[in-house]
Amino acid sequence: MVASPTDEDHLFLKFVILAPKKSETTTILPSTTTSALTPLTTTAITTTITTTTATTITTTTAATASLTTTTATSTTITTTTTEVTSLTTTITTTTTTTQQLEWTNTGSMIQARTGHIAFVLENGKVLVTGGQSGDRLNSTELYDPSIGMWTSTGSMIDARSDFAASILTNGKVLVTGGHNADGDYLNSTELYDSTTGMWTATGDLNNARFDHTASVLTNGKVLVTGGYYYDHRINSSELYDPVTEMWTTTGSLNDARSGHTASVLTNGNVLVTGGYNNNQLKSAELYDPNTGIWTTTDSMIDAREYHRASVLTNGKVLVTGGLNAHALKNCILYDPSTKTWTNTSDMHHVRWDHTASVLTNGQVLVTGGSGSSYLNNVELYDPFTATWTTIAHMNHARSGHTASILTNGRVLVTAGFN
């Protein structure tokens, strides 16, 4: 559970968008375009060799006469050598695009908040709902990227924070659990319809919970796992069917946990990592939707909670940061094909309660979070080189915020606390 902001904490109304600024340079390099071979010179070299053979025949007669015959043989050899010289002209024109990433402020939300959720809807707008700002909130807002402004939309039935949410295959947004202004743990769930701007109640969870995860499976159902209920962590899991709007129990986790991550792998299985249950956990488990059973897999190298897990374009899972006895900067990769973890490059800064977003180019953008203080630094992970690069800082340090990739490729960061 993310700590509530104190009186000294400042909730941000300002939001920023990360946008690439492009500058172009043209470089002339040796070409990969080759012109036709053109003979420049053809040289014929003729060599004449003359061989003279002298043969002397001497005949002696009784009259002592001498006859000398000389035979001259001339041999001419002509050798012609053709020498072809060709010139290849190669010209390549390349355009180098340099991306200078910068953060710019955009319209402020109507309500400051942390512990909320944010989703990009089918229409390209961003839905933000719930969280807390002193009291728990049920208010909901929409961000329109075309004008950079926020407007109010229908409020949730229940105010809630530290809940989980999913965007369904039909475009509706499902929110689950959390806790309300009275500190009660919720089993209620609601659906937001962007065509009407309204929330409606749907089937209740079998177990009230907060600080859990919710994952949309490849079959369209939603898997809710773990969480916290009053004085204990939960190992139960439930499935939501959008067709019947009902919840059914499925296999239980081997380890009860909250503050964990859940990632849908390319093979359809769900990987759950870390979290907390009396101590930070390094165990990991796999859920098979075909059998409804959880099985343990290779444990992480380090125990952690409030970390982030991102499914890369190559199918591997990148786990970043988190909290153990202290904030972490080390990162690890899970390979579903071998079911093993390996180390990868460390981030430049320790952090937990941050965001980690897979960009359209496959890189992972990590923003903010908490370390020795609240952070505004930002890093990019390149899966091809396994390296981290520090880029432009956000205008405000923040933790407990959200980051959404807009349809135009920009990244919208909202709220949080400092």
Q: pLDDT value at position 99? A: 53
pLDDT at residue 305 tops 60: yes
Band of pLDDT at residue 412, cut at 50, 70 and 90: very high
- For residue 57, pLDDT over 50 is answered with no
Least confident of 17-21, 264-268, 355-359, 366-370: 17-21
Phi-psi map region of 318: left, alpha, beta (phi>0 left; psi -120 to 50 alpha): beta
CA 4, 178, 135, 414 dihedral sign is positive
Dihedral, CA of residue 333, residue 335, residue 339 and residue 340, to nearest 10:
-40
User: Which pLDDT value is given to residue 2?
Assistant: 44
pLDDT at residue number 192: 99
How high is the pLDDT of residue 107? 96
Report the candidate in 285, 286, 320, 315 with the shortest Cα–Cα distance to residue 302. Answer: 320
- Torsion of the alpha carbons at 203, 207, 210 and 213, rounded to the nearest 10: -70
pLDDT at 62: 34
**pLDDT exceeds cutoff 80 at 23:** no
Q: How many whole angstroms separate alpha carbon 239 and alpha carbon 249?
A: 6
Residue 200 or 65, more confident: 200
DSSP 7-72: TT--B---EEEEEEEEEEEEEEEEEEEEPPP-EEEEEEEEE---------EEEE-TT--EEEE---
Q: Which domains does the chain have, with CATH numbers?
A: 105-252 (2.120.10.80), 254-402 (2.120.10.80)
Q: What is the pLDDT of residues 101-120, one digit of tens each?
A: 789 999 999 999 999 999 99
* C-alpha distances in Å from residue 113, one per residue of 96, 157, 293, 402: 41, 18, 37, 11
CA distance 68 to 289: 115
Calpha distance 266→416 (Å, rounded): 31
Average pLDDT score over residue span 320-330: 97
Exposed, middle or buried: residue 181 (CB in 10 Å: 0-12, 13-18, 19+)?
A: middle
